[in-house]
């Protein structure tokens, strides 16, 4: 049966099965939410373009551009800790696109209590999600606390984060100069931007930097996670501190997954305690989403025929006899397209004309 599924459908099913094995309950969210929810959190969404419409009572509604926001908003305190997985469509304008697109996402959210085990579990599930898609993957791991620890409580660090996310050292120097950042801090930021490679050795490199006290906790966290991840992924789990996101929503662990042959990241995730707090919950949260739409565009076109058998009958054929012939083919384990002689618009493995050879039931 699975042989008839599209590759993205197969992946979606396999991923949800994986998440459910670890006790993540399937979760459905409404396709619509009040527009205001997204307006309040447009920085989290990274875009102001939201597909909105008026409900029958005049209330401004939106087709959800994001799944995490809806899950967090709808989570009730008594449901926490919550571990859910989903396969849902989001509606947004992808980077560089000119119109809204339906984006198929499969993901998990772990809300309420996130300790080292939970972080390790989510990171392991992220690695295994990528592995389900292709053995040639890379999972880049970072901790927002490291950059934040070096930067301190400065405002207006957007330009610095943007440069770090592009591994843009010359841009980082310019941004540091514009912000009046001292030479030592700048050197540390440059070193963090350049740091990378398989998780454990790369973390040892960081130990050699003279990082401020505030970086100690995030470093310890990453080291502990590296230990948890020893059984998963090996050298495919890498430290890359250029993985950054908005500090108003994300804190701590953050990660991004790539599949060879797909030009953009297919998996993004991380800790989002600040978002949880903004939505009126206390506690911790972590999650990730796999973007199946990004994947779909890079899959090779399907070359499989539409059906196994094309069953052709003449215009005078007996309908009951045609039905019997079709059933006989299906009973033999093949799929069949039944069609009167004339133009053929499907691809098939073999063609059978009723009244000839084996189909003459």
Partner 1 sequence: MMNVALPKGRLGEKAYALLARAGYPCPDLLSDNRRLTFEHDGVRYFLVKPSDVAIYVERGAADVGIAGKDILLEYQPDIYELLDLHMGRCRMCVAGPKDFVDDHTRALRVATKFPHIARNHFGARSREIELIPLNGSIELAPLVGLSDVIVDIVETGTTLRENGLAVLEEIVPISARLIANKASFKFKETQIRGLMEGVRRQTDARA
State the minimum distance, in angstroms, from the CB of residue 138 to partner 1: 4
Q: Does 49 bind partner 1 (CB under 8 A)?
A: no
Q: Strands 52-54 and 101-112, how do they pair?
A: unpaired
Figure out which of the listed residues 4, 30, 136, 347 binds partner 1, where binding follows CB under 8 A.
136
State which of positions 70-99 bind partner 1 (CB under 8 A): 95-96
Cβ contact 56:82 at 8 Å? no
Q: Which residue has the tokens 């699975």?
A: 2
As measured in angstroms, the least distance from the Cβ of 286 to partner 1 is 22
Could you tell me the two tokens for 274?
């600040």
Residues in a beta bridge with 271? 286
Report the distance separating Cα 148 and Cα 78, nearest Å.
Answer: 33
Total chain residues near partner 1 (CB under 8 A)? 19
Q: Are 322 and 338 in contact (CB under 8 A)?
A: yes
16-25 in b/e burial notation, b at 16+ Cβ within 10 A?
A: bebbeeeebe
Least Å from the CB of residue 247 to partner 1: 19
Q: Does 291 bind partner 1 (CB under 8 A)?
A: no
* Nearest distance in Å: CB 211, partner 1: 24
Site string for partner 1, 236-275 (x = CB under 8 A): --x---x---------------xxx-xxxx----------
Q: What is the dihedral of CA 149, 152, 154, 159, to 10 degrees?
A: -30
Tell me which DSSP letter residue 60 carries. E
> Is 138 among the residues that bind partner 1 (CB under 8 A)?
yes
Q: Residue 301 or 357: which CB sits closer to partner 1?
A: 301
Q: How does 131-160 read in b/e, with b if 16+ C-beta sit within 10 Å?
A: bbbeeebbbbbbbbbbbbbbbeeeeebeeb
Provide the pairing of β-strand 307-313 with 348-353. parallel
Task: Closer to partner 1 by CB, 178 or 330: give it.
Answer: 178
Helix H or strand E segment including 73? helix 68-74
Q: Residue 140, interface with partner 1 (CB under 8 A)? A: yes
Quick note: the x/- pattern for partner 1 over 153-172, rule CB under 8 A, is -------------xxx-xx-
Nearest alpha-carbon partner for 72 in 62, 60, 86, 61: 86
Smallest distance, partner 1 to C-beta of residue 353, A: 46
Query: Smallest distance, Å, CB 268 to partner 1?
Result: 12
Minimum distance of partner 1 from residue 41's CB (angstroms):
21
Interface residue list for partner 1 (CB under 8 A)? 95-96, 136, 138, 140, 166-168, 170-171, 238, 242, 258-260, 262-265
């Amino acid at each position: 049966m699975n042989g008839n599924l599209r590759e993205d459908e197969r992946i979606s099913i396999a991923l949800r099965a994986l998440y459910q094995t670890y006790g993540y309950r399937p979760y459905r969210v409404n396709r619509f939410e009040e527009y205001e929810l997204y307006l309040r959190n447009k920085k989290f969404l990274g875009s102001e373009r939201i597909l909105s419409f008026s409900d029958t009572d005049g209330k401004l509604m939106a087709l959800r551009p994001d799944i995490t926001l809806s899950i967090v908003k709808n989570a009730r305190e008594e449901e926490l800790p919550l571990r859910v997985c989903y396969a849902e469509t989001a509606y947004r304008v992808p980077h560089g696109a000119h119109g809204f697109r339906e984006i198929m996402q499969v993901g998990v959210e772990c809300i309420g209590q996130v300790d080292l085990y939970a972080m390790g579990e989510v990171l392991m599930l992220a690695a295994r999600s990528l592995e389900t898609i292709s053995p040639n993957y890379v999972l880049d791991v970072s901790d927002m606390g490291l950059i934040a620890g070096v930067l301190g409580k400065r405002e207006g660090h957007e330009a610095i984060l943007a440069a770090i996310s592009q591994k843009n050292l010359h841009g980082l120097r310019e941004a540091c100069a514009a912000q009046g950042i001292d030479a030592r801090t700048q050197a540390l930021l440059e070193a963090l931007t350049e740091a990378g490679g398989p998780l454990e050795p790369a973390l040892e490199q960081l130990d050699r930097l003279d990082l401020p006290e505030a970086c100690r906790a995030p470093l310890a966290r990453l080291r502990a996670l590296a230990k948890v991840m020893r059984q998963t992924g090996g050298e495919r789990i890498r430290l890359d501190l250029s993985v950054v996101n908005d500090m108003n929503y994300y804190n701590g662990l953050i990660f991004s997954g790539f599949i060879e042959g797909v030009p953009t990241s297919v998996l993004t995730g991380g800790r989002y305690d600040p978002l949880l707090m903004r939505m009126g919950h206390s506690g911790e949260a972590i999650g990730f989403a796999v973007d199946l739409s990004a994947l779909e565009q890079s899959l090779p076109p399907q070359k499989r025929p539409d059906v196994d058998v094309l069953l052709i009958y003449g215009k005078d054929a007996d309908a009951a006899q045609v039905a019997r012939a079709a059933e006989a083919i299906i009973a033999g384990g093949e799929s069949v397209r039944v069609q009167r002689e004339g133009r053929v618009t499907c691809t098939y493995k073999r063609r059978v004309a009723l009244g000839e050879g084996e189909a003459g039931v």
